[in-house]
Amino acid sequence: MRYQLAALVLLATFGLALSVHDRVVCYYGSWAVYRKGNGHFEIEDIDPTLCTHLIYTFVGLNHDASIKIIDSWQDIDLEGYKRFNALKLRNPKLKTLIAIGGWNEGSEVYSQVVSNAHTRTAFVNNALNFVKTHGFDGFDLDWEYPGQRGGSPSDKHNFGLLLKEFKQVFKPHGLLVTAAVGASANAIRLSYDVPILSENLDFINVMTYDLHGVWDKVTGQNAPLYAAPHETTPAQQELNVVACINAWIENGAEPEKLVLGVGVYGRSFTLDNAENNGINAPANQPGRPGPYTNEPGMIGYNEICELQMGEPWTVVWNDPQKVPYAHQGNQWVGYDNPLSVALKVNYAKEKRLGGVMIWSVETDDFRGICGNKYPILSTINANL
């Protein structure tokens, strides 16, 4: 609770003088309906008054450029799309989008489809028909990632061609086209013609998280605002929120098109030595899975706060990087809390960015078990 209060105090400290688009973009992971206990999340658990844009994840892409419904039972039989779009009845200003892609989709099919003018056009037309059929207000491209993970070096150019065509087809219908993008300067080098993205997308959701994880073999923050003192190499100094946003702007993005991503979860580790529990401590194994998300090395904010309520975790404020981490025994997690999120929102205001995005709504404390409901999302709204 003290972090929530401190975060709200920042509202008065920084004020509202800076001009910023007040987008609050909320991704919804539709598979959360299968979680158990306090983690079980239905579409009706979303508070649509806390978001300006809601994005339903995910659909996939077939080799013939048709749109693939991944979970037809939830999405169609149980009327997931219909119920999601009905949230606009509770917030008439809300815009809803459907996202295609995600990590599990990979890159190979996307690379193949965009490499050919005929299938590119088919993809755009199929996306338009899908959006209009199911009542969405736009289409979000979450290709992870052009030119990587089975893609081709030509993806960077072809993705730009795709976006030009999306804008040409969607704009006359008043529909949005957005994308979720890798955050770092290296991701830009491999995947994105930034001026083309900035010109043709309504806004760009920058995934400024997953900057550190168990793949590093040492503890590190999921989404630090700044570099750590020990991070002295150019590659290390790219992996923080400020460096990522600066890279996008320096490469030609209009700041007002950039939406700063906040991860509503932490990256967790199993320490090699429980006594060595700071930043950059050896940790060759992922942290234990949370009770709801059940994914080693990743744990939702709702799970983190519940664990801290029930067990004696040590919480440390990492002041150089402006984010917290916590440890208990050989378990370690770097995450965001309301205080660190408030600092990020105010950074977005200082840079005159286009808003703030969360991944994802169902791992906030949506039940209010640790305090007020939706502490992360509420902090964003209070500080924008």
Please list the active-site residues. Answer: 144
Structure-block tokens of residue 110: 């996307």
- CB neighbour burial string for 347-383, b if at least 16 within 10 angstroms, e if fewer: bbbebebbbbbbbbbbbbbbeeebeebbbbbbbbbeb
- Following DSSP, what letter does each residue of 52-102 receive, concatenated? SEEEEEEEEE-TTS-EEES-HIIIIIT-HHHHHHHGGGT-TT-EEEEEEE-
Structure-block tokens of residue 238: 């790219």
Structure-block tokens of residue 243: 């460096």
- For the beta carbon of residue 260, count every other beta carbon within 10 angstroms: 27
- Which residue in the block uniquely carries the two structure tokens 């996307």? 110
Strands 95-101 and 138-142: parallel
- Nearest C-alpha neighbor of 329 from the set 281, 375, 285, 276: 276
What are the residues facing 32 on neighbouring strands?
Answer: none
Contact 273, 262 (CB under 8 A): no
- Nearest C-alpha neighbor of 283 from the set 268, 295, 298: 268
Q: What whole-number distance in Å separates Cα of residue 272 and Cα of residue 249?
A: 39
